[in-house]
Structure 1
Amino acid sequence: MIHIAPTRDIAACLRLRRAVFIEEQGVSEAEELDNKDEGAIHMLATLDGVPMGSARLLLSGDTGKIGRVCVLPAARGTGLGAALMRAALDELRRQPGITRAKLGSQTHALGFYERLGFVAEGPVYDDAGIPHRDMVMTL
């Protein structure tokens, strides 16, 4: 059973991010770990009680930025990632004054986010050696 909710278990989210971004994708630890985790809302997705995915929400003005979205390989293709994103969007809608969601998508994942209602904007850019493009959605 999939369960997704905001969490205070930042360590579980960091373990997932380490596995996906640092170990799998080769992002440096210095680029992955920043000083924004403490003030963020962290979403944790579990499958049968086991942490399998996470996302980080940062609030600024009227915009909620969804970042550090990751799903372990064993849970990819199961719908967990889409469920995680829908839960993140629902959490942003609960935040006073937030009317827009934004994220930086790895270019290979643009279609995934487009299916959720995001629209790509601006040029492709490099983030940690991986091509990205900004995407937005009105909430």
Structure 2
Amino acid sequence: MNDLQIRIADWSRDNGDLRRIREAVFVAEQAVPPELEWDAEDAEAVHFLALDGDYAIGTARLLRDGHIGRVAVLRDWRGLKVGEALMQAVIAEAERMGLDRQYLTAQVHATRFYERLGFEVVSDEFLEAGIPHVDMVRQG
């Protein structure tokens, strides 16, 4: 992969790519029920797309209160620092918006990834959509 780009997505225009990635990762791979994956906050969120050339391979969203979520990278591009580049773009946009505190709900297996980006675990482990999670916070 030699042409990684991260850009802010348009929920309407980029909806097909955003849905394709989230459905592949969360609904198909992790068996998250579709009714839990899609919510009213999508229309108001700032969405991000990671692209390899012009093919969308990852996504994330940022809510107006600093909540980061729906971070997903397609299987074939994992381990190539796509998630890190995506998260750095989300954090930079949050800080540009004046959101010095960002938070997220992380799958337990991904906590080290988020810790490397400055997030700290602030909760006990709990189940969400049948998957172990923890709450994490980053103070900018």
Instruction: Classify the TM-score, shorter chain.
Output: over 0.9
Instruction: Report the number of matched residues.
Output: 135
Please tell me whether the aligned partners of residues 105 and 135 of structure 1 are also in contact (alpha carbons under 8 angstroms): yes
Report how far residue 90 of structure 1 moved: 0.5
CA distance in 1, matches of 2:18, 2:132: 23
Query: Of 31, 42, 54, which aligns to 1:49?
Result: 54
1:86-97 to 2 correspondences below 5 Å: 86-96=88-98
Instruction: Report the TM-score, using the length of structure 2 for normalisation.
Output: 0.93
Query: Of 5, 8, 11, which aligns to 1:6?
Result: 8
Please tell me whether the aligned partners of residues 4 and 45 of structure 1 are also in contact (alpha carbons under 8 angstroms): yes
Please tell me whether the aligned partners of residues 10 and 42 of structure 1 are also in contact (alpha carbons under 8 angstroms): no
Please tell me whether the aligned partners of residues 71 and 81 of structure 1 are also in contact (alpha carbons under 8 angstroms): yes
Report how far residue 136 of structure 1 moved: 0.5
> Could you list the per-position Cα deviations for residues 60-106 of structure 1 after superposition, in whole angstroms to 9, with x for gaps in the alignment?
2xxx111000000111000111000000000101113x110000000
Matched, 1:108 2:109: yes
Report how far residue 12 of structure 1 moved: 1.3
Report how far residue 46 of structure 1 moved: 0.4
CA distance in 2, matches of 1:86, 1:3: 12
Report how far residue 50 of structure 1 moved: 0.7
**Structure 2 unaligned regions, length at least 5:** none
1:23-34 to 2 correspondences below 5 Å: 23-34=28-39
* Paired AA for residue 19 in structure 1: A
Report how far residue 125 of structure 1 moved: 1.2
CA distance in 2, matches of 1:72, 1:134: 23
Instruction: Find the counterpart in structure 2 of residue 117 from structure 1.
Output: 118
In terms of fraction of residues, the more strand-rich structure is 1
Spell out structure 1 runs of 4+ moving beyond 2 A. none
CA distance in 1, matches of 2:93, 2:7: 9
Query: Of 14, 18, 26, which aligns to 1:21?
Result: 26
Report how far residue 131 of structure 1 moved: 0.6
* Paired AA for residue 41 in structure 1: V
**Structure 1 unaligned regions, length at least 5:** none
Query: Of 73, 76, 80, which aligns to 2:75?
Result: 73
